[in-house]
Structure formats: C-alpha cells, structure tokens
Amino acid sequence: MIDINHLLKKKWYFQGFNGTPSLLYGPAFSMIRDMPELLGFGYSACIEYFEKDVCYYLYAWDDLYAILDKLLEHYKNDKGYLDYLLKENERICSEVLAEYKQIGNKNWKNLSAEELFALWKKSDRLYAHLLAVSHIVEGFTLTTENRIRELIEVEFGKDFLDKILLLTAPPRHSFLATERYELCLIAREIKLESKGATKKIKIHQEKYYWKLNSYTSAKIVSVEDFMTEIEEILAKNIDIDKIIADYEFLPKQILKKEKLRQTIKSEELLTLLAINDIIFSIHDRRKECMTQAIHYLDFLMAEIGRRFNLPLYDLRYIRASELDQLPNIAEELRSRRERSLYVVLPGGKEALFIGDEAENLFKTLEKTDAENKSSVEILRGNCASPGKVTGIVKICRGEVELGKVNDGDILVACMTQPEFLPAVKKAKAIITDEGGITCHAAIVSRELGIPCVIGTKIATKVLKDGDEVEVDANHGVVTVIARKAPMRR
C-alpha cells in the first residue's frame, strides 16, 4: 500500500457527478501519465471517490495553478502554442476514434476471455490517450473564471454582464447544439410533410446513437427514440425556426464578439479570452469523443459480465489490472460500489480504499465544516445564462433521478452531463454546484435560452426537492422563497 498522507495536507477542488471507475479510471491515469508525456506537464495525483455510482473527482489546487502557469508561459513565448494544442487534440481524437471503430468491427463473442480482457485494456488505454491534451481544461477554467469576470467588469463597468456573455460565448457550436439543430431540421421537414424525412432520421440515429452515454453507462438511442423526441418537439409547438435561426446566427455573433474584443485595453484579459476560445473547442471535442468512447468500453464490459455471470453495475468498479482475477473479486466489487476511494500517482502507483476507510479519508480530504447548510437562504454563484424565474426545485445527483424533473421545475445538480439533456429541456432554470464558463450547463442553458447559475458550491446540499426558489441569473443569485414542509411520521 502506498503512502497518501501527503495528499491529505493538500487543498482540493471537488467535482461531483454521476460516474463509475471503469469509465473514469482511465482518465485518472491520463492526468498523471499521458498529459505529462505529451505536454511536459500535468498532475501530481488524482483521487476519485465513489458512492453508489456518484463520483467526486478531486483536483489538487497546486496542480491546477501549476498547469495555468505553464499554459501562460508557453503562450507568452509562442503565440502559436494554442493552435498546436488544438491540432494535437484533433489529431489524437481522430486517431483514437478510428481505432475504436476497428474494435467495434470485431466479433467479441468469438474471443477468449484473455483476448476480451486484452481488448478492454486496449480500449481503456486509448480512452486515456484521448485526453492527453484536454486535461488542461480544468487547469485553465477553474483558476481563471473569476479573474476573467473581474477584468471584464473593470473594462466595461456596470454593463459588464452582457459583455461577459458575448466575450465568453463559444467560438463554435457544441456537438450537442449541432445535434439539436440537425434534429430540428428533420422536425421541420416532417411538419411540412416533406418526403425523405424518415430516411434522414435513420441517418441521424447512426450519427448520434451515443449522445446519451454517461460516465456510469452506455446506452443506444434508437430511431424510435429520436422519432419520439421529434414528436415531442412538434407537440409542444417549440419554435423550430427560431432554434435553426439562432444556430445559423453564430457567424454574426463571432463578428460582434471580435468587434467588442478590439475595444479591450487589458492585455491580460485579451490573453485569457484567446485561451478561453481554444479551451472551449478542446473541452467540447473531449466531451464528444469521450461520449463515443464510452460505447466501446461499457459494451465490452457488458460482454465480460455475461461471460462470468456478473452484474454489470458491480463489474464497473474493477480496475484494468484486476480483470484476470475474475470471478474471484466479485464480492469485493460489490463492496466498492457502496463506498470506495481510488488514488493514482505518477509511475503507475495506485491505491484503493473501501467502505468506512474510504469514507473517512474522503471526509478528511473534504474538511467538511459543521455549519448547518439548511439555514442558508441565499446562494451566490456566477451567471452562465441570463434571466429571472421562480420555480420548484428538483435535485438530481445522478442519472437515475432525472425522471422526477417535470416541465417548469428548477433543475439543481452538482454539474450537468449530456445524459441530463432530457431533464434540462423540461427545466425552467438550472443551478449547479460546479462549473465554469465552458461547462456543459453553461453551454446548454445558453443554447436553450434558460437562466442558469453555476458554481454555487453548495446548491445540492442547501436545497431540497419541493423548495420554491427565485433564480436571478442576471446577478448569479438564488433565493429560497419557501421550504417544502418536512414529512410527518
């Protein structure tokens, strides 16, 4: 067992979302192995804590700031460094997805157990390599979010909010926005009773069948699922033409953004905005490619589970190095799903803690104070998408809770992921614990035109299902109007 006492003294950033080790352990190794190999700098440690498919991904603050310093240093010495990062990321992602397609063409059922293990390990290694560049995202976004906002406020004064939203607007469409746009084009054809729409739905499904994959599992979106989505769009009389027009407005928005950028005097702000544009593109490509990669990892794991008659939800807690211990490790995997903490250090060093030991270590790392969060009535975060609404809170800590969100509810989450999209579309507003300018909630809320407050830190701890809140995203403030009365026993 390796010594992790030095890690308990560090300050950590906690990123919470739903996830499992089989789909997140490769990225952990990528932070301390693939990123340094490619870029010459990276993370000194990664910690992941799991509790029934909810994950907390821990980043050391000293690592985050060290990565920011390296990024700024490289950009200062070479203005072409950002283009290098972007092109390297595109190259790696393209090569990895091509290899995954070859893996997908194999007949997995004809492979021996040893061959199947080797194929999963290869898939996991590709998954880690996929992220070699993109781990710079957190090193930039988590350390500069507030600084960018401060500099824009100084530059433009009291009208800074609109300027923040424009200057930090994505330089390209996210893959989710593109999928929605293309689906709306098909929906418009169906509405107009145009011929050939059915064939286009099939093509759309083949292109985006993976869009709802998550860090917990893979799922295939069928032609029927996409057809149902279109039927809902038409039944709700959603303004399809506006969605299409807004998507196609991007070139004009970019020109407007560039014109505003030319008025900025602060060199620091110009530098951060230039990096932010590249970071968005890398971040979105990472999300798109990871979502596709999960298809191969999880369905391969499902085949392994079938061979050994093991539940897939337990098997997702295994490490690649332990596959040859199946089925003898099955009982321990079940315990890991309850509570487990995984540590990855340079040189391939790793540690695993289970049960009470894992929970106690997590609490030590978290350094949770004893404040009664239920007494907090006003939460503050950052505006990701403007607007002011009132509604009923629905807390979603994982994918299994998304079904409780009804039309007009306020979705509250640690952070949103692509699989949250069906619930996000029903929500009147979004509130998150985590997130920065380029996070999923920020991007999707802007595209859907709903208010969003990100980075409150404590929303999922303070708020409860049924609470009524006012979301003033213009000022990044969430106010509790009424608490849901506790159930009587």
Cα separation, 319 vs 305, in Å, equals 14
Q: What's the pLDDT at 439?
A: 78
Q: What's the pLDDT at 374?
A: 52
Let me know the angle formed at the C-alpha of 317 by 314 and 318, rounded to the nearest 5 degrees: 110
Q: What's the pLDDT at 435?
A: 76
pLDDT in tens, 296-310: 999 999 999 999 999
Whether 18 shows a pLDDT value over 90: the answer reads: no
Whether 455 shows a pLDDT value over 90: the answer reads: no
**Average of pLDDT values for 277-294?**
95
Let me know the angle formed at the C-alpha of 82 by 79 and 83, rounded to the nearest 5 degrees: 100
Whether 217 shows a pLDDT value over 60: the answer reads: yes
Residues 6+ apart with CB under 8 A from 89: 133, 134, 282, 285, 286
3.50.30.10, 3.90.1300.10, 3.40.50.150, 3.10.580.10: CATH of 373-482? 3.50.30.10
Cα separation, 314 vs 336, in Å, equals 8
Of 71-75, 150-154, 311-315, 369-373, the range with the lowest mean pLDDT is 369-373
**Average of pLDDT values for 178-196?**
89
pLDDT > 90 in the chain, percent = 74
**Could you tell me the pLDDT band of residue 77, with boundaries at 50, 70 and 90?**
very high
Whether 369 shows a pLDDT value over 50: the answer reads: no
Q: What's the pLDDT at 17?
A: 83
Q: What's the pLDDT at 368?
A: 47
Structure tokens at 15: 């990123």
Whether 192 shows a pLDDT value over 80: the answer reads: yes
**Could you tell me the pLDDT band of residue 447, with boundaries at 50, 70 and 90?**
confident
- Which residues make up the CATH 3.50.30.10 domain(s) of the chain? 373-482
Q: Are 109 and 72 in contact (CB under 8 A)?
A: no
Mean pLDDT of the chain: 91
Whether 370 shows a pLDDT value over 60: the answer reads: no
Whether 486 shows a pLDDT value over 70: the answer reads: no
Whether 364 shows a pLDDT value over 90: the answer reads: yes
Q: What's the pLDDT at 319?
A: 95
* Residue 120 CA to its chain's centroid (Å): 23
Q: Are 473 and 385 in contact (CB under 8 A)?
A: yes
Q: What's the pLDDT at 2?
A: 83
Q: What's the pLDDT at 90?
A: 97
pTM given for the model: 0.89
DSSP state of 483: P
pLDDT in tens, 457-485: 889 888 999 999 999 998 889 999 988 76
Whether 373 shows a pLDDT value over 60: the answer reads: no
Cα separation, 155 vs 269, in Å, equals 9
Give the side-chain half-sphere CA count within 13 A for 7. 26
Q: What's the pLDDT at 197?
A: 83
Q: Are 324 and 49 in contact (CB under 8 A)?
A: no
Q: Are 300 and 148 in contact (CB under 8 A)?
A: no
Q: Are 476 and 378 in contact (CB under 8 A)?
A: no
**Average of pLDDT values for 53-60?**
92
Q: Are 205 and 223 in contact (CB under 8 A)?
A: yes
Of 55-64, 208-217, 430-439, the range with the lowest mean pLDDT is 430-439
Structure tokens at 224: 């029927």
Whether 26 shows a pLDDT value over 80: the answer reads: yes
pLDDT in tens, 122-141: 999 999 999 999 999 999 99
261 by Cβ neighbours in 10 Å (0-12 / 13-18 / 19+) ranks as: middle
Structure tokens at 293: 């990669």
**Average of pLDDT values for 170-184?**
92
Outline where DSSP puts E strands in 82-208. Answer: none
| Closest of 90, 38, 45, 87 to residue 66, by C-alpha | 45
Cα separation, 314 vs 328, in Å, equals 13
Whether 489 shows a pLDDT value over 50: the answer reads: no
